[in-house]
Amino acid sequence: MTTIDDTSTAGTPAVVPDATPVLQARGLVKTFGRVVGLDGVDLDLYPGEVLAIIGDNGAGKSTLVKCLTGAETPDQGEILLDGNKVHFKRPQDARAAGIETVYQTLAVSPSLDIASNLFLGREVRRPGFLGTVLRLTDRAGMRESARRELRELGISTLQDVTVPVENLSGGQRQAVAVARAAAFGSKVVVLDEPTAALGVRESGQVLELVRTLRDKGVPVIIISHNMPHVFEIADRIHVQRLGRCAATITPQSHTMTEAVAIMTGAAQA
């Protein structure tokens, strides 16, 4: 039985899920010399949601995500994972904590095959002497795991995991990058403009993948300029403007036109 603490839910806005955020930012500040990238940003990511971040160029979207994922260190403010303060000094720290990121610039190795890309940085060694001393990788095992992960993510566009990534289309490469982030029990997946360079069909596949992730219980942060995509996929929308969060809205509470107006400063939430 759970008891209700009558102070804990007082004043909670209706749109905010009643749960501890998986990932939180409080008052993040990040400057680059005299340029203010982030000017005191709060962000909440709740369990099982897709949170979109929108904003004009230079609004601080990428910097925000970089601070959350260890690629930048904020000057001020704090980041909490499952309610506990974390201090990521490099992307590997965030990754070790379960935060997987697909950056705007795709991080796949074109000459390696799909399976090797999925296991990049966490190669599985062969058992015993071959693995510990000779550092031989368990290629067959990784290929089998790669096939299983792709199947579980419903990715049908990548049939053969032994194909070098350089032979794939843009959308398929993006699928590899997202699959890599989504595989291996990650806690949060962050995507910076995942459909920017893709055609309609390929974008649809990436959005479908985001949905699959959410349905598997993995919350997703997705930066996008594409309003129809944002309104199709997001549960909530963080509107970033001039280094701050101008509003947090939902596809139900606001129209695309209203969202753009908040983004550009033509209107307030």
Ligand X SMILES: Nc1ncnc2c1ncn2[C@@H]1O[C@H](COP(=O)(O)OP(=O)(O)O)[C@@H](O)[C@H]1O
Shortest separation between residue 253's beta carbon and ligand X, angstroms: 22
- Site of tokens 């209107």: 267
CA angle, 243 then 246 then 247, to 5°? 140
Write the Ramachandran bin of 77: left for phi over 0, alpha for psi from -120 to 50, otherwise beta: left
59 binds ligand X (CB under 6 A): yes
Q: Which are the contacts of 218, defined by CB distance < 8 A and separation ≥ 6? A: 182, 186, 187, 188, 189
In this structure, the number of other CB atoms found within 10 A of the CB of residue 119 comes to 23
58 binds ligand X (CB under 6 A): yes
Helix pair angle (170-182, 200-215), 10° resolution:
10
- Give the H/E segment covering residue 32: strand 23-32
Of 35, 96, 134, 196, the one binding ligand X (CB under 6 A) is: 35
Of 21, 45, 49, 55, the one binding ligand X (CB under 6 A) is: 55
Q: Return the SS3 of 79.
A: strand
Task: Kindly determine how many residues on this chain lie close enough to bind ligand X according to the rule CB under 6 A.
Answer: 11
Binding mask 60-79 for ligand X (x = CB under 6 A): xxxx----------------
226 binds Mg ion (CB under 5 A): no
Q: Nearer to Mg ion by C-beta: 117 or 224?
A: 224
62 binds Mg ion (CB under 5 A): yes
240 binds Mg ion (CB under 5 A): no
37 binds ligand X (CB under 6 A): yes
Among ligand X, Mg ion, none, partner that 59 touches (CB below 5 to 8 angstroms by kind): ligand X
- Where do contacts with ligand X occur on this chain (CB under 6 A)? 32, 35, 37, 55, 57-63
